[in-house]
Amino acid sequence: MRTLKITVAYDGAGFSGWQIQPGRKTVQGTIEDALTAIEGRRVAVAGSGRTDAGVHALGQTASFTLTNPLPAANLKKALNRILPAAVRIYDVAEMPAGFHARRAAVAKTYEYRIHREETCPPFVYPFAYWYPFALDEEAMIAAAPLFAGTRDFRSLAANARGPRQERAEKSTVRTIFSSQLTRRPDRLVYRVRGSGFLYRMVRNIVGALLEVGRGKLKPSGIPALLAARNRGLAGITAPARGLFLVAVEYDNE
């Protein structure tokens, strides 16, 4: 029995998120179906974490075990032949027995794109949050690094996880290694790298940054917002379509 890790990109628009749900088209379910076709028995896939409906991935990871002896490079090709074009396997790697994509992850990077042009190109719209209205971008850029550090991020966790809420999420302490908002010619790009993220935490950080941009929240108010550990104090949750899971890191890579 081999243990394998895959690196996957997907356009989240057509999926009800990563995690398998009965009667819904999900990324995990789509990948499990493809592996099942290759293996000849049901293959269960463990993602590095879930992504919500509409959230995209450039480098999501997942692990599974397989008896099929197909070399990794051929397995990648076989999977990409079976999978829809909206889901692409970029890498298949042999891992030590017991490797688990979620438990072994040491860092994740997300990116959030806020498109700033007056008119949003049709080709960009599914992959960004189009926000053409006035924003104090300098204040947002100044506020972004204030989310870095090790702290209790309860203020930025969603209250509900939906039908399959994970009760194991006891600690709400996380470490954010870097948190930067950058101005590009046509958009704002928020990039955050951390040890892990609470449910909807990145979209809630972006929501808070948008509140800063609108003048509803001062950058100096962010430490107090975080210290309050009360979700009610933070702003809106930014839409899923602007969010990309960029990379998941492991030790010894």
Residues binding a copy of itself (CB under 8 A):
9-11, 56, 80, 85-90, 119-123, 125-127, 130
- Tell me if 115 sits within 8 A of 210, measured CB to CB: no
> Nearest Cα to 63, choosing from 103, 22, 9, 11?
103
- Is-catalytic flag, 186? no
Given the complex with a copy of itself, which of 96 and 123 has the nearer CB atom?
A: 123
Q: Decide: helix, strand or coil at residue 215.
A: coil
CA 129 – CA 240 distance, rounded (Å):
8
CA 139 – CA 136 distance, rounded (Å):
6
> Nearest Cα to 144, choosing from 197, 193, 105, 107?
193
- Tell me if 92 sits within 8 A of 76, measured CB to CB: yes
- Tell me if 173 sits within 8 A of 197, measured CB to CB: no
DSSP 140: H
DSSP 28-59: HHHHHHHHHHHHSS----EESS---TT-EEEE
CA 54 – CA 107 distance, rounded (Å):
22
Catalytic-role residue among 11, 52, 91, 186 = 52
CA 126 – CA 115 distance, rounded (Å):
11
Residue 105 structure tokens: 């992850």
Just list the catalytic residues: 52
